[in-house]
A and B are shown apart, each in its own frame.
Chain A
């Protein structure tokens, strides 16, 4: 087992690289006089961090709950549900009233509905299939595919003008963030993170397995529900900001778990959050300022994350 000192220095190293790339991201090519652009970049930087932290932490918590390194909320189709909600609102009310809804209210409505979905579907699934991880995973993927088909189906039913409005929400784009929701998202994110931090010792016990949780006298079902709700809010934060990203959370958590399999949950949570933020900020700095490419960061992340997912699946197939 690696020493505490080493773990701390790794965390410090990640934080310092993150600070450096943040500095580069905000100030690259600008002088202190460009207030407007500095502010613009600062908001974007905040949003990137929020997304990185939300995705990474939600994935870590979800994987701890399901006792699996392969499941993530987005593989289970949670962010597709977010898109479905906006589509249903658009097709029920029409674009006019959809655009008239305050972005903040919309975000809150979405989060509430997603909490409901997460509790109903994933709570039910986890409680029913906790012993049969392959089935759980396959059901999750099929739910994701089904919701995607449903989204496309509804997308065909609405008028082209309505569809354009929807399409804006449907793709992961790090270069076009929804700035209105950034601040609300930050408040909600902070709340969620505080709650998760308050209960992180429980996560340590969840890592031991379901029977240990019950034996040690922890209310299994209520705690699972609480964590699922937090995961749902975190996913809705990241989806509201940049749209769905499939394999990013998996990539970050797999990286951390691979390097520090023995760390405590508290340490994992900190490291996962920092690495998530670091990858997005550094990657975006690289792609936007150095390579001058716009939309490809999400694709690159998807390819690398997909390969990691594949290797994890195969490795598990061998070890069984």
Chain B
């Protein structure tokens, strides 16, 4: 098969999955109903279409962001959601709901997103002080940083009685997505497209500081731009739909085995694979306990966590 037919196959499978996702849910909808019954058209426009779009955007953005951060930090285990960003966002949501509760949903999300951005920057600043002897130390330190932030957030949430709010908000559940609740994701999508546009420059960052400088890349400026894009896109995603664990970690590592380190080539595949696997998990989650749901995040975490464990266990130093 030529590359063109790969693209065709990928695109058609994603389209089929999208189509299926539109029809599955608490109400099963057949195609005919949409024209015959106005109620069903309403369900489509206010719930199914926003939800499916949200899953597609979130999956592709997290795949792109994971791939980008692994390239920029030169570490195959780098991934913003394991580096304390969600906990920063949780802190932001909590503070905004306590200090200025009147700013509304979008205001809270934006405040949360900016706190997530700062917590990621803080982590990078911290990282500059350390010299890592082993690539595996990065996710370890990140996970503990998240755990400490998370414990602090839990303490505050407990004091202000906001535990339930946070748990529901950050669950990685697409059931709450309706019209008017997901529009911030378009911002994340724009960042994703920008990342693809700048992919050639970012690829050079992955070769290390010395080589990148030799190639004439303004290293520090570009790293800062990349980090800002990563943090913003992740924050927008997490503040809107919550945590999707392991996606940014597992998907780029699988894609890299086939596509190599050239971001211009691998980013679209990361986006495709992230989107289609997350959509598959969301559909499975909707079917498992029909008419109730299992959040897509949980379905995905169970699959991807197993894959990640298998990768680590095999201990292939070159691939991981």
User: B residues near A, CB below 8 A?
Assistant: 77, 130-134, 136-137, 139-141, 143-145, 147-148, 151-152, 154-155, 158, 245, 288-289, 292, 294-295, 298-299, 301-302, 305-306, 308-309, 312-313, 315
Within 8 A of B (CB), among A276-320: 295-296, 299-300, 302-303, 306-307, 309-310, 313-314, 317-318, 320
Within 8 A of B (CB), among A116-169: 129, 132, 134-135, 137-139, 141-143, 145-146, 149-150, 152-153, 156-157
- Asked if A306 contacts B144 (CB within 8 A), the reply is yes
- Asked if B134 contacts A134 (CB within 8 A), the reply is yes
- Asked if A135 contacts B151 (CB within 8 A), the reply is no
Quote the shortest CB–CB distance from A117 to chain B (angstroms).
14
- Asked if A145 contacts B301 (CB within 8 A), the reply is yes
Please count the residue pairs between chain A and chain B whose beta carbons lie under 8 angstroms apart in the complex: 98
- Give Cα A317 to B144, complex, Å: 14
Q: Does A246 contact B (CB under 8 A)?
A: yes
- Asked if B315 contacts A132 (CB within 8 A), the reply is yes
Contacts of A150 in B (CB 8 A): 302
- Which residue in A139, A157, A246, A296 is a CB contact (below 8 Å) of B313? A139
List the B residue with the shortest CB-CB distance to A141.
Answer: B143
- Asked if A149 contacts B315 (CB within 8 A), the reply is no
- Which residue in B137, B288, B289, B305 is a CB contact (below 8 Å) of A145? B305
Chain B facing A: main interface SS: helix
- Asked if A313 contacts B301 (CB within 8 A), the reply is no
Given A134-B134, A306-B148, A310-B148, residue A146 in contact with residue B158 (CB < 8 A): no
Quote the shortest CB–CB distance from A270 to chain B (angstroms).
29
Quote the shortest CB–CB distance from B149 to chain A (angstroms).
9
Contacts of B139 in A (CB 8 A): 138
- Asked if A320 contacts B302 (CB within 8 A), the reply is no
- Which residue in B130, B131, B151, B245 is a CB contact (below 8 Å) of A299? B151
Of A149, A296, A309, which is in contact with the most chain B CB atoms at under 10 Å from its CB?
A: A149
Given A142-B308, A149-B305, residue A314 in contact with residue B130 (CB < 8 A): yes
Of A142, A152, A296, A300, which is in contact with the most chain B CB atoms at under 10 Å from its CB?
A: A142
Contacts of B151 in A (CB 8 A): 299, 302-303, 306
- Give Cα A310 to B147, complex, Å: 10
- Give Cα A295 to B158, complex, Å: 9
Contacts of B305 in A (CB 8 A): 142, 145-146, 149
Given A137-B140, A142-B308, residue A318 in contact with residue B130 (CB < 8 A): yes
- Asked if A156 contacts B154 (CB within 8 A), the reply is no
- Which residue in B136, B158, B292, B299 is a CB contact (below 8 Å) of A135? B136
Given A139-B309, A302-B151, A310-B148, residue A149 in contact with residue B158 (CB < 8 A): no
List the B residue with the shortest CB-CB distance to A153.
Answer: B298
Given A145-B305, A303-B155, A310-B145, residue A135 in contact with residue B298 (CB < 8 A): no
Quote the shortest CB–CB distance from B233 to chain A (angstroms).
23
List the A residue with the shortest CB-CB distance to B300.
Answer: A149
- Give Cα A139 to B306, complex, Å: 11
Quote the shortest CB–CB distance from B282 to chain A (angstroms).
14
- Asked if B298 contacts A156 (CB within 8 A), the reply is yes
Contacts of B298 in A (CB 8 A): 149, 152-153, 156
Contacts of A149 in B (CB 8 A): 245, 298, 301-302, 305
- Give Cα A142 to B288, complex, Å: 25
12 more CB-based (< 8 A) A-B contacts, given A137-B136, A156-B295, A310-B145: A132-B315, A138-B77, A138-B312, A146-B301, A149-B245, A153-B299, A153-B302, A156-B289, A302-B151, A309-B147, A317-B133, A318-B130
- Give Cα A135 to B147, complex, Å: 19
- Give Cα A132 to B315, complex, Å: 10
- Give Cα A51 to B289, complex, Å: 38
Contacts of B141 in A (CB 8 A): 310, 313-314, 317
15 A–B contacts, CB within 8 A, in A order: A135-B315, A137-B140, A146-B306, A149-B245, A150-B302, A156-B292, A246-B147, A296-B155, A306-B144, A306-B151, A310-B145, A310-B148, A314-B130, A317-B130, A317-B132
Quote the shortest CB–CB distance from B251 to chain A (angstroms).
16
- Asked if B155 contacts A134 (CB within 8 A), the reply is no
- Give Cα A150 to B302, complex, Å: 6
List the B residue with the shortest CB-CB distance to A129.
Answer: B315
List the B residue with the shortest CB-CB distance to A303.
Answer: B151
- Give Cα A32 to B155, complex, Å: 36
Contacts of B308 in A (CB 8 A): 142
- Give Cα A156 to B137, complex, Å: 33
Contacts of A313 in B (CB 8 A): 137, 140-141, 144
- Give Cα A153 to B47, complex, Å: 24
Contacts of A129 in B (CB 8 A): 315
- Give Cα A143 to B309, complex, Å: 7
- Asked if A156 contacts B294 (CB within 8 A), the reply is yes
Quote the shortest CB–CB distance from A118 to chain B (angstroms).
17
Of B130, B144, B305, B309, which is in contact with the most chain A CB atoms at under 10 Å from its CB?
A: B144
- Asked if B312 contacts A299 (CB within 8 A), the reply is no
- Asked if A303 contacts B137 (CB within 8 A), the reply is no
Quote the shortest CB–CB distance from A290 to chain B (angstroms).
18
List the B residue with the shortest CB-CB distance to A246.
Answer: B147
Quote the shortest CB–CB distance from A156 to chain B (angstroms).
5
- Give Cα A317 to B306, complex, Å: 28
- Give Cα A11 to B302, complex, Å: 46
List the B residue with the shortest CB-CB distance to A302.
Answer: B151
- Asked if B152 contacts A303 (CB within 8 A), the reply is yes
List the B residue with the shortest CB-CB distance to A320.
Answer: B133
Contacts of A303 in B (CB 8 A): 148, 151-152, 155
Quote the shortest CB–CB distance from B226 to chain A (angstroms).
24
- Asked if B294 contacts A299 (CB within 8 A), the reply is no
List the B residue with the shortest CB-CB distance to A300.
Answer: B155
Quote the shortest CB–CB distance from A83 to chain B (angstroms).
15
Contacts of B131 in A (CB 8 A): 317-318
- Which residue in A152, A157, A302 is a CB contact (below 8 Å) of B288? A157
